[in-house]
Amino acid sequence: MLDVKNLDIQFLNKEDQSWLKAVNQVSFSIDKGQVLGIVGESGSGKSVTSFSIMRLHDRKSTKITGEINFQKINLLNLTTDEIRKYRGNKIAIIFQEPMTSLNPVFTCGNQVREAIMLHQKVDKHTAKKKTIALFKEVQLPRPENIFDSYPHQLSGGQKQRVMIAMALSCNPELLIADEPTTALDVTVQKTILELLLKLKNERGMTMIFITHDLSVISEIADEVAVMYKGQIVEQGQAKTIFETPQHPYTKGLLACRPNPHRLLKKLPVVADFLEGKNEEEINNYTVHEIEARRTLLYSSDPILQIKNLCTWYPIKKGLFGKAKEYVKAVDDVTFNVFPGETLGLVGESGCGKTTLGRSIIRLVEPSSGKLIFENKDITNLKAAELRMLRRDVQIIFQDPYSALNPRLTVGNALMEPLQVHNMFQTNNERKAHVLNLLSRVDLKPEHFNRYPHEFSGGQRQRIVIARALALQPKFIICDESVSALDVSVQAQVLNLLRELQQEFGLTYIFISHDLAVVKHISDRMIVMNKGKIEEQGFPEEIYNNPQAEYTKRLIAAIPGT
């Protein structure tokens, strides 16, 4: 169905008018009904390759050579009008981020209906019927309601299903799925993967599935192409590549994802394998080391005590504006955190884990219950006292890009909290402290004067970690701080968090939807569901012998298990 030969893609560097090569001599082919997985880190060229199949690149600033033969027709030779007959009709794409791909000012139904009317030349009424049928096919709840809903009113998984419905609206023969499950809960990810396979089989489609996570590819692909720095370094049958990877880069990608069956002191990173190291050189924790750490951790008094905490949101008002019904985001939660510990909070989106994290730091005001930090009741602290508390208790937010002010350089963003809290005497001293922090999170002095948009996702995450450390806190809440990162960058950030904990004696609450990640980094784990604690205990106990059905479902959804 698709035969790509010697594909080269170059982009114009507008600063010096030079050409930068993003894809170098890439060749692959896909038979009808097959799934090809293209895997690699951000910047490896996998999305650039897929966009070239759809001819989505700007012709003025892109040079593409080689062949992209779809059903024996070279798409690179088609005019703009000719390629439109293929785009959407015969070849469709699901983009990585549904929130930015869907128009926020139109309802979801209108956007899918528009695509159907454009390509199938049917009236509004017929197009609406087809849209609702598609919403049913992608297993959206209450399809008629979703038709009239705006993107912001849907969950991440629901938005992704709307994007899948739009891609399927014109019965394409080739579907390109570009990172369609990144940052989704592992349970939602599993259902999306199952849905895509079901639709592919029912419709007889061919699919290209792009991801940075080889364990996700293992669930869906027949053939795999591994991309690194714009080239395919390894390709073949999925089973062969998983069982006997040949290239060091492939070995690194497979090894750097946390393995729930092992407890590593340090996750392998891709660089280890490219430098010729073996996975055997990475050490496991011994039982004795784990017991010694636990004896030390739990012999002290807790640094944080949470007692019967509730955070409820009113959703229905009765007579005189009195609340009648509530969303119980956090519902009667009690637990302790000990100095130097990493407590993992795991659960799906909407389970209350982020609200709980924000309630602890009083970014969200709890409805009832008690918060005791270092034996001091902080539940009702006034604003000035709360500001002092936040010197000791910091938070790393999920999305580093939205957590950084785009108008402030990185240096100024890190110096700002030092100025607010009057740390150090002069700005020169503050700058020296910030430069030291940047080097500690593996960033360079020249990054001080750059803006957030000039960094990769992994670098931005390191910047917000440095900002959280700026005030020398005792306690940090990590809210989904690695969920949207490449598995290789995720491994680096997880290793960094563990190193910083040992160096500065930090205590963490680590929030994530990914049980494999939480099991790797946590001393203890709490599983949350619908605002309540389902179960808690040591990671290996919960993983090997889960008590709650909900926990069993989370474990079953871990890719590659």
Question: Token pair of 327, please?
Answer: 């969303």
Q: CA 519, CA 258: separation in Å to the nearest integer?
A: 8
Question: Token pair of 461, please?
Answer: 């995450």
Extended beta strands in 156-254, E state: 174-178, 206-211, 223-228, 231-237
DSSP label at 180? T
Q: CA 342, CA 17: separation in Å to the nearest integer?
A: 49
- Percentages of the chain per state (helix, strand, coil), in multiples of 5: 40, 25, 35
Residues 6+ apart with CB under 8 A from 80: none
What phi, psi does 303 have (nearest 5°)?
A: -80, -30
Q: CA 220, CA 230: separation in Å to the nearest integer?
A: 23
Q: Which residue has the tokens 């609450």?
A: 509
Q: What is the pTM of this model?
A: 0.84
Q: CA 253, CA 218: separation in Å to the nearest integer?
A: 12
Q: What is the pLDDT along the chain (561 residues), one digit of tens a residue?
A: 999 999 999 998 877 888 989 999 999 999 999 999 999 988 889 989 999 999 988 888 899 999 999 999 999 999 988 998 898 889 999 887 776 788 989 999 999 999 899 888 889 999 999 999 999 888 888 899 999 999 888 877 788 889 988 988 888 999 999 888 876 778 888 888 888 899 899 989 999 999 988 888 888 999 999 999 999 999 999 999 988 999 999 998 888 888 888 888 888 888 888 887 665 555 777 788 899 999 999 999 999 999 999 999 887 666 666 767 788 999 999 999 999 999 999 998 778 998 999 999 999 999 999 999 999 999 999 988 998 898 999 999 887 888 899 999 999 999 999 999 999 999 999 999 999 999 989 899 999 999 988 887 788 888 999 999 999 999 999 998 887 788 888 898 999 999 999 999 999 999 998 888 999 999 999 999 999 999 999 999 999 999 999 999 999 888 766
Question: Token pair of 318, please?
Answer: 């009765």
Residues 6+ apart with CB under 8 A from 388: none
Beta-carbon count within 10 A of 57 CB: 16
Question: Token pair of 559, please?
Answer: 């890719």
State CA 157 to chain mean position distance.
Answer: 13
